[in-house]
Chains A and B, each alone.
Chain A
Amino acid sequence: MGEITIHHYLYLSAILFFIGVYGVLFRRNLIVMFMSIELMLNAVNLSFITFARYSSTMDGHVIAFFVMALAAAEAGVGLAILVMVFRNRTTVQADDLTLMRD
């Protein structure tokens, strides 16, 4: 086992990000899609922290905090919308919500 380098962090970040992408693209449950988006955001956060750490600057940390705040707000609004959708349509399956087309 070698030393953990910047590459390991970035590969991990990329893997997490694409797991998120897969979740958004192929899962039908809106809640799971939501979680996948959170996963992508966190993958990006990880990249920012990594770069910040290896370049000894604070900018990446600052942005990570911004992303966390944004993710929190997004989760709040998104879950509220989800609740309303469920109340109205009794489903959270994305494929059933195609009003925009018709």
Chain B
Amino acid sequence: MTVNYYLWLIPAAPLLGALINGLLSYFYSKRERGPSEALVSFVGCVSPLFSFVVAAAVFLHLQGLDPSHRMLQQWLSHWIMAGTLKVDFSLWIDQLSMVMVLVVTGVGTIIHFYSIGYMHGDRGYARYFSYLNLFMFSMLTLVMGQNLPLLFVGWEGVGLCSYLLIGFWYRDIEKAAAGKKAFIVNRIGDFAFLLGMFLLFATTSRIGNPTLDVPMMRSMVEQHPDLFRPMATAACLLLFAGACGKSAQIPLYVWLPDAMAGPTPVSALIHAATMVTAGVYMVARMSFLYQLSPTAMAVVALVGAATAIFAASIGVCQRDIKKVLAYSTVSQLGYMFMGVGVGAYAAGIFHLTTHAFFKACLFLGAGSVIHGLGGEQDLLKMGGLRRSMKTTALTFLVAGLAISGVPPLAGFFSKDEILWGAFNASVGPAWFPPLLWGIGFVTAGVTAFYVFRAVLLAFFGGERLSPEAKAHAHESPAVMTVPLILLAAGSIVAGFMNVPGVLGGSGAFHHFLEPVFSGASAHSADAIGTGLETAGGAAGAADHGLERLFMVLSILAGVAGILIAYLLYIRRPEAPARIAAKARGLYNLVFHKYYVDEAYERAVVRPGYALSDRVFFRVVDAGIIEGVVNGVGTTVRLIGAAVRLVQTGVVRTYALFMLIGFLYVLYRLLW
């Protein structure tokens, strides 16, 4: 079979779509009206759909192969050839990138269709779809790139598209600034990522096989782990710093909540389902390297856990429905990092997949609400919307239940698996895994609470709508509700891909991904997470008992969160304000997001600004650079003024000079 010859079609289709819509947008930019929306939507939606179909075909083909040989590669061309550095344009699909490609194209296509309704009538309609398709192309390059530089191209490409789409309504200065913030914060992480890449290249060069090719590096690491061990921690931490930027982890998470300035489908696609998960993907991709450094893994797990609880606590007090979801995304990404950090890579990727469904559904539901209310985003000015927006309310509720970990919805399986993996982790000191589990457990409860706070405030209880929003309130058109239904359905069934052994399932998702992390399984709780390898034997039975207990506990945490939200926001709607008044200091601290933005402003932005102004502008630019430039000018002018004295304008003087020159030539010739 020659399926691998067609791999290029997957990223190429959205690129073509981006080009067509970009040109359309360009040629219509001077006209009063944009290009026909029907044409733009057709091009914009068919291209990711096409990618999805190709990806599905590739998946079917992959399923037919022997599990240990499930890898397709396509070499497209040479790219960089400089000295010993050789980088090619080559794509590959293995089980891990297959999962990512299916998530990106599948959820991506649904969101593209949703955008038809959401962006209807916007002057930048073609530009929007062009950016969105460009994003799909970059994201697919990221997950399909066979070497780190190509992955990095996609990495930067999605960053660019994120910037373009956050600042999509660039006439609003705040939105443009949010785009800039995202870009700059990401740049910090990218710098570390680049350094990590250089370090890896230096190491492979020293070993005598200079390469940045991922499968090749993997086999090198597996053959000579000791050669890589000394630099593994540094390289992993540098790469992880890059992941922190892209996937919004502490300390670089601050851009993601601001990124909600973009259109809501963008928040769903880029800032919830796909781009922000790139960091998790990258860590899983490089798992062979992370296995060598327990320190780096512990750092990843710790940062993930800290981010999970920290962001979740902020989510509790947010009033903007999109901000709640944004902090929820940061928190859930923390979960994923906790999973990959303890070596439960498949669990992390599984959570990534289920999260893509329910979080995209939540965001699109929020978008539907905002759309229906004519731009209202404040939760306190909603309420009772279930009557006017039945489908949206229902799908939002389903996704909310999924993220809260209520069985048998998707979030329950994936979240539980990460928690179980964390508890069984073999990183760090003995108290470390239970600590991780505890943080995850509390976060699960908090998550359920704030998600249901949003659900109840928006869709239940009494109406608090402003008069104009009330007049406007309506259910969104079918082109928006059908994607919601699809994603809600995904949130329900996605979990069944990976029913753990302890509940009588087969852990199919785990088995599919297993070969990718084969080097990891010895070290990690991955295999235990499915409960497969411990089946049989007394120890296995005990583990099963414990695992079931933990499941019940985490269900209880979720249900408790939901119940508290119900009590506070439906039974006693006046209670939250009273509690807030009682714990005013704490409430203010959380409401203002722990003043992290303000602290960064003081500690980084203003000193940076001062440094730029006082040193780089006044000294380096105005002093040194301008001094040199002006100095050259002044010198030339002075020389000119001196030489000018010779030019008297008197013919006889010139004749005298000629004579002197002539005599000199004569002198040199004769003597």
A33 vs B655: C-alpha distance when bound (angstroms): 11
Q: Out of B647, B652, B659, which one reaches A94, CB within 8 Å?
A: B652
Indicate if the CB atoms of B655 and A100 lie closer than 8 Å: no
Indicate if the CB atoms of A101 and B649 lie closer than 8 Å: yes
Does B84 lie at the interface of the complex (its beta carbon under 8 Å from any beta carbon of A)?
A: no
Which of the candidate stretches A1-9, A19-27, A45-53, A76-84 sits at the interface with the other chain? A19-27
**Chain A min CB distance to B645 (Å):** 10
A28 vs B659: C-alpha distance when bound (angstroms): 17
Does B651 lie at the interface of the complex (its beta carbon under 8 Å from any beta carbon of A)?
A: yes
Query: Contacts of B647 on A, CB cut-off 8 Å?
Result: 100-101
Indicate if the CB atoms of B649 and A100 lie closer than 8 Å: yes
Once A21-B659, A25-B659 are accepted as A-B contacts, the answer to whether A98 and B652 lie under 8 Å apart by CB is no
Indicate if the CB atoms of A102 and B649 lie closer than 8 Å: yes
A23 vs B649: C-alpha distance when bound (angstroms): 18
Indicate if the CB atoms of B652 and A26 lie closer than 8 Å: yes
A97 vs B654: C-alpha distance when bound (angstroms): 13
Indicate if the CB atoms of B651 and A101 lie closer than 8 Å: no
Query: Contacts of B659 on A, CB cut-off 8 Å?
Result: 21, 25
Query: Contacts of B655 on A, CB cut-off 8 Å?
Result: 24-25
Indicate if the CB atoms of B648 and A97 lie closer than 8 Å: no
Indicate if the CB atoms of B649 and A99 lie closer than 8 Å: yes
Indicate if the CB atoms of B652 and A24 lie closer than 8 Å: yes
Does B650 lie at the interface of the complex (its beta carbon under 8 Å from any beta carbon of A)?
A: yes
Q: B interface, by DSSP: helix, strand, loop or mixed?
A: helix
Chain A 45-102 residues near chain B, CB threshold 8 A: 94-95, 97-102
What is the chain B residue whose CB lies nearest that of A27?
Answer: B652
A102 vs B647: C-alpha distance when bound (angstroms): 10
A102 vs B650: C-alpha distance when bound (angstroms): 11
A99 vs B647: C-alpha distance when bound (angstroms): 11
A97 vs B7: C-alpha distance when bound (angstroms): 82
Indicate if the CB atoms of B648 and A98 lie closer than 8 Å: yes
Query: Contacts of B651 on A, CB cut-off 8 Å?
Result: 33, 94, 97
Does B656 lie at the interface of the complex (its beta carbon under 8 Å from any beta carbon of A)?
A: yes
A32 vs B354: C-alpha distance when bound (angstroms): 105
Query: Contacts of A25 on B, CB cut-off 8 Å?
Result: 652, 655-656, 659
A25 vs B656: C-alpha distance when bound (angstroms): 6
Indicate if the CB atoms of A101 and B648 lie closer than 8 Å: yes
Indicate if the CB atoms of A98 and B656 lie closer than 8 Å: no
A84 vs B596: C-alpha distance when bound (angstroms): 84
**Chain A min CB distance to B261 (Å):** 64
**Chain A min CB distance to B529 (Å):** 93
What is the chain B residue whose CB lies nearest that of A30?
Answer: B651
Indicate if the CB atoms of A94 and B650 lie closer than 8 Å: yes
Indicate if the CB atoms of A95 and B656 lie closer than 8 Å: no
Query: Contacts of A95 on B, CB cut-off 8 Å?
Result: 650, 652
What is the chain B residue whose CB lies nearest that of A98?
Answer: B649
A24 vs B656: C-alpha distance when bound (angstroms): 9
Chain B 637-665 residues near chain A, CB threshold 8 A: 647-652, 655-656, 659
Query: Contacts of B650 on A, CB cut-off 8 Å?
Result: 94-95, 98, 101
A101 vs B651: C-alpha distance when bound (angstroms): 11
What is the chain B residue whose CB lies nearest that of A36?
Answer: B655
A28 vs B652: C-alpha distance when bound (angstroms): 8
Query: Contacts of B649 on A, CB cut-off 8 Å?
Result: 97-102
Query: Contacts of A100 on B, CB cut-off 8 Å?
Result: 647, 649
What is the chain B residue whose CB lies nearest that of A95?
Answer: B650
Query: Contacts of B656 on A, CB cut-off 8 Å?
Result: 25
Binding site for A on B (CB under 8 A): 647-652, 655-656, 659
Q: What are 6 contact pairs spanning A and B, CB under 8 A?
A: A21-B659, A24-B652, A25-B656, A28-B652, A100-B649, A101-B649
Binding site for B on A (CB under 8 A): 21, 24-26, 28, 33, 94-95, 97-102
Knowing that A33-B651, A97-B649 touch, tell me 15 more A-B residue pairs with CB under 8 angstroms: A24-B652, A24-B655, A25-B656, A25-B659, A26-B652, A28-B652, A33-B652, A94-B651, A94-B652, A95-B650, A97-B651, A98-B649, A98-B650, A100-B647, A101-B649
